[in-house]
Structure 1
Amino acid sequence: MIVPFSIRDFLDRAVAVYPDRVAVVDEPNQEAPSWGELTYAEVMRRAKAQAARLDELGVPVGGRVAMVSQNAARLYTSFFGVSGWGRVFVPVNFRLAPAEVEYIVEHSGAQVVILDPSLAHLRDVCGSAEHVFVLGDDDEQVWGGGGEPEPWEADENATATINYTSGTTARPKGVQQTHRALWTNATVFGWQASVSDRDVYLHTLPMFHCNGWGMVYGVTGMGGQHVVLRQVDGAEILRRIEEHPVTFLCCAPAVLAAVLDALKDWDGPTGRDRVRCVVAGAPPPTRTIERVREELGWEFIQIYGLTETAPLLTMSRMREEWDDLDPTEQARHLGRAGAPALSTQIRVDDTGELLARSNTVLEGYWENPDASATALEGGWFHTGDGGTYEDGYVTIADRKKDVIISGGENVTSIEVEDALMSHEAVREVAVIGIPDEKWGELVTALVVLEDGADVTDADLIAHCRERLAGYKCPKRVEFRDELARTATGKLQKFKLRQEFWGDRERQVN
């Protein structure tokens, strides 16, 4: 017997087993009226109402519905209300500039766009969509459907979500993930991270990012409780861990740094010996891992993956063989990207690039067959990361793609360079990532100006802010007389990076 996988399986199970359990505690501090506490039965009722409303709006199976929102119960519910009845959900990064949102809405062909009230001004750039709604103001038009939605016969190979990511070109690419891939990621990730019905999960990670790394689904399927955090703040994370009480969270290294920084002024409990913390985006320093384990008393787990892999490829978690090692040596082991997840195969090609095969790998890039063929050449997904795979563990050494990971977000250098080159005073520019204790890697622009140009670093950063999301803009600008190039004129970024990275073994931070 073959029963097709569907992401609605997770909510169906939660409703069957835990209908009256609190499913989600909404963010209390937001412009749209908070939904407060919802049971799993109520989440299902609202998801069905949303699907029925999409029926009324004429959005067909396979039609795209985009949502631009910070973490919210409405966003959580929409993962099921849209994809659970055969449409394709497009969760969009709320930090993006208007022009970037406009491109994604148009490129995805979204018929419906739902906006956070703080982003209502984006209505003006969503003209390609037939319907644009604002949370709070238009709730009745989104969740006001009555009765049962039209049934959908699950197709595990159908696209469930399109998640846009910065790649190696100036335009973002839409990662198509099927129900099968998302189902596999959520179950394998959840199992290897020990998710259970006793978990209280704090959404410090943006839900738009790889669908909350799959925990939107995985925690739901086990009947855990979701606690929504709208804006990352170290002290607020500690407060919510105490209030709810939280057992599990996922985050970027910059979030861990914020929590550790807030700890010096915190006199309450930290969830010691209760909280499991999963980190990805860039390997934190060994000392940071030690502090998380010693000062917070949290279990530290590291994963490696990409939006294209849903994201889980590898996991590094404490194991029995390391019990007798000293804490520093344990932290060094945990600092590796990890061992392959169940059903994942890893190898390193002749150029040193990490390749992967997994049920979680993307179906392809939306409306971009050339990029899809390149990424999946030879039946392996090309990660764009260089590293080693020894003794069953992956270590990331550098990035083959011209991508910077800052604060857990991907920033494509080419996109930032394009924005800077649009300034009349800029003759040449190279954008690189340099090590930074807070952000992991700092977006840094090395700029050669036109003769006689009079412009400051602040001017150039402001110029970028008019064109790019804030997290993509350079945090540092340095002016140079020239940039290192090959005889054929190609930038030699490895030489430009060398002065900042020095003799570090790994060219990632």
Structure 2
Amino acid sequence: MLELHFAVPMAGAIICALNTRLDPKMLSTQLCHSEAKILFVDHEFLQRAEEAITLLNNTQIKPPFLVIISEHGSFSPSTLAHKSEYETLVEEIGETNFSIVRPVDECDPISLNYTSGTTLRPKGVVFSHRGAYLNSIACVFTHGMRDMATYLWTVPMFHCNGWCFSWGTAIVGGTNVFIRRCEPKAIFDNIVTHKVTHMGGAPTVLNMIANSLATDQKKVPHTVEIMTGGAPPPPTILSKIEELGFHVCHCYGLTETYGPATWCLRKPEWDLLPVDEQVKLNARQGVKHFGMGEVDVKDLITMESVKCDGKSIGEIMFKGNTVMGGYFKDSRATQEAFSGGWFRSGDLGIKHPDGYIEVKDRLKDIIISGGENISSIEVETVIYSHPGVLEVAVVARPDDYWGQTPCAFVKLKEGVQVDAQEIIQYCRDHMSHYMAPRTVIFEDLPRNSTGKVQKFVLRKKAETLGSLT
């Protein structure tokens, strides 16, 4: 995959890294939408790829030529006719003196990345050569990578081309370390064996490391820089991960912004503050990196910038070269996303007096109870701090009197026994009473193919519960 991130654009083509966790039906939908001509597939996912290609027979789309990446260069069995083995193909038709096919315009597309949609119609986000170049440099700088860095891959390359580190590690002559399974033991083993200096990971990866078994952990030989993005990591997880020898760089962005777009630049004066306060400050989404043109928090209707008072809520919006060119074959969704001349993230946030932004919630996840806006993220942060909680997601439950009340879905750590009332009381002891959940349900959290919690599933469950009052 790393080779192909260079080879495909250098051949004048567009790379579209597909999510390996998708089922054949969704893969088929994306192959049809992208009109891919060649499909490179690792031997581990061959059967799924074959099923996806077979489904294309019911469409007008010509199935892509299949190139199988086998484990040891030997040909893997396949039921499809138009196929080849990767190393054999390179050896037979590869040209040593091949001239790079450069883009006619630097704004020409370099890649197509699908959002982690919850339906069979996820959006295809178009990246340009210019945007990828700028974001790669910015992310390497933001991550503090220097010459000869060693990068451990726990971020899949189908996530915004690996947050652009697929190209970025080459800028600093870095060494790439890959693991087939993102598991704590493999992470610690590879850090020690290969002297890993940098890695990335969603908050779920940080949670996994922070709550890993002592037998899986190893003392890291030096501080490992770890970049995280996605849902805001709970302060308790940030604190635990740093105790294990990691230094967290907290970033924020979307597929539409090539991955990381802002970072919580750590100020020296924060080191003088109590640890709890430092962790809270480090959990903010921060300021734009130098590759992004503009970032602001604006009123959804008037498009006026909100005050830097840490209270006024608006939508986080972006402008610049590292914002997508648009959604492939979807002009209507593109126009909606850029309504008002800015890219609308769909995330609600505030601006602090120092200019740092902080995500408060997804626009669709805000809970309105008795006329008060409740941030599901703030409630989740408090519940996460309970020593018995492993994972939590909070959504709105309909209420005839209050309109909505917070409903928490909680997964406990193994062997822990806690009842709903204890969680509710813990929240009331640590936050305003009106924000505390009135319903707590213990179960595993549903996740989509990219590991994000499917809150729409939880919202449906909460709706079926009906009103408390």
The TM-score, its normalising length taken from structure 1, stands at 0.65
Name 1:203's counterpart in structure 2.
153
Distance 1:83 1:286, change over 3 A: same
Distance change in 2, residues 1:292/1:113 (3 Å): same
- Mapped to 1, the partners of 2:35 and 2:161 lie a distance apart of 20
CA deviation digits over 1:353-410, x for unaligned, max 9? 111112210001111111111112222110010111222211111112579999xxxx
Q: 1:399 aligns with which of 354, 362, 378?
A: 362
Retained in 2: the 8 A contact 1:279–1:302? yes
Q: Is the 8 A contact 2:15 2:112 kept in 1?
A: yes
Report which structure shows greater RCO (CA 8 Å, sep ≥6). 1
CA distance in 2, matches of 1:120, 1:86: 26
Task: State the shift of 1:149 in Å.
Answer: 3.0
- Given candidates 346, 353, 356, the residue that maps to 2:295 is 346
Aligned partners of 2:38 and 2:167: how far apart in 1?
23
Alpha-carbon separation, structure 1, partners of 2:257 and 2:453: 26
Distance 1:300 1:169, change over 3 A: same
Following superposition, the deviation at residue 191 of structure 1 comes to: 1.3
Asked if structure 2 preserves the Cα contact closer than 8 Å seen for 1:163 and 1:307, the reply is yes
**CA pair 134-265 structure 1, distance change in 2 beyond 3 A:** same
1:373 equivalent in alignment to 2:300: no
Aligned residue type for 1:206:
P
- Residue aligning to 2:44: 118
Q: 1:237 to 1:307 in 2, by over 3 A?
A: same
Contact 2:295/2:316 (8 A) holds in 1: yes
- What SS does the aligned partner of 1:364 have? coil
Aligned-partner SS, 2:209: helix
What is the alpha-carbon distance in structure 1 between the residues aligned to residue 160 and residue 22 of structure 2?
16
Match of 1:419 in 2: none
Structure-2 change in CA distance of 1:480 and 1:248 (3 Å): closer
Please state how far the C-alpha of 1:319 moved relative to its aligned partner: 1.9
8 Å CA contact retained: 2:184, 2:212? yes
RMSD: 3.3
Is 2:136 the partner of 1:186? Answer: yes
Specify the alignment match of 2:90 in structure 1: 143
- The alpha-carbon distance between structure 1 residues 433 and 129, as it changes in their structure 2 partners (threshold 3 A), is farther
The 1:150–1:124 alpha-carbon spacing in structure 2 relative to 1, beyond 3 Å, is farther
Map 1:82-121; keep pairs closer than 5 Å.
82-121=8-47
Question: Counterpart amino acid of 1:288?
Answer: I
Query: Is the aligned partner of 1:132 residue 2:66?
Result: yes
| 1:140 Cα offset (Å) | 3.8
The alpha-carbon distance between structure 1 residues 397 and 168, as it changes in their structure 2 partners (threshold 3 A), is farther
Confirm whether residue 286 of structure 1 aligns to residue 235 of structure 2: yes
CA contact (8 A) 1:271 1:298 kept: no
Deviations 1:212-239 (A, max 9, x none): 1011111111101110112100111000
Distance 2:408 2:65 in 1: 39
Q: Counterparts of 1:334 and 1:319 in 2: how far apart (Å)? A: 10
The structural deviation recorded for 1:470 is 9.3
Give the deviation of 1:301 after TM superposition. Answer: 0.8
Gaps of 5+ in 1: 1-74, 407-412, 414-431, 439-460, 485-494, 500-509
Identical positions, percent = 31
Structure-2 separation of matches of 1:265 and 1:472:
27
Counterpart residue number, 1:409:
none
Number of the residue aligned with 1:260: 210
CA distance in 1, matches of 2:168, 2:462: 49
| Counterpart in the other structure of 1:453 | none
Q: Contact 2:184–2:217 (CA<8 Å) still a contact in 1?
A: no
Compared CA separation, residues 350 and 230, structure 1 to 2 (3 A): same
Task: Say whether 1:249 aligns with 2:199.
Answer: yes
1:469 positional shift: 5.0
Equivalent residue of 1:91, what SS?
A: coil
Contact kept? 1:180, 1:359, Cα under 8 Å: yes
The structural deviation recorded for 1:346 is 1.8
Q: 1:483 Cα shift?
A: 6.4
Deviations 1:91-136 (A, max 9, x none): 0000001100000001001011111212111223224333112211
SS in 1 for 2:350: strand
**How far apart are the structure 1 equivalents of 2:129 and 2:450?**
32
What amino acid is aligned across from residue 91 of structure 1 in structure 2? A
Aligned CA distance change for structure 1 residues 434 and 355 (closer, same or farther; 3 Å):
farther
Q: What is the TM-score with the length of structure 2 in the denominator?
A: 0.70
The alpha-carbon deviation at position 327 of structure 1 amounts to 1.5
User: Is 341-350 or 360-369 further displaced after alignment?
Assistant: 341-350
Shift of 1:196: 1.3
Task: Identify which of 312, 317, 320 aligns with 1:355.
Answer: 317
Q: Given the alignment, which residue of 109, 125, 148 partners 1:175?
A: 125
Letter in 1 for 2:33: H
C-alpha distance 177-401 of structure 1, shift in aligned 2 (>3 A): farther
Cα distance, 1:262 vs structure 2? 2.6
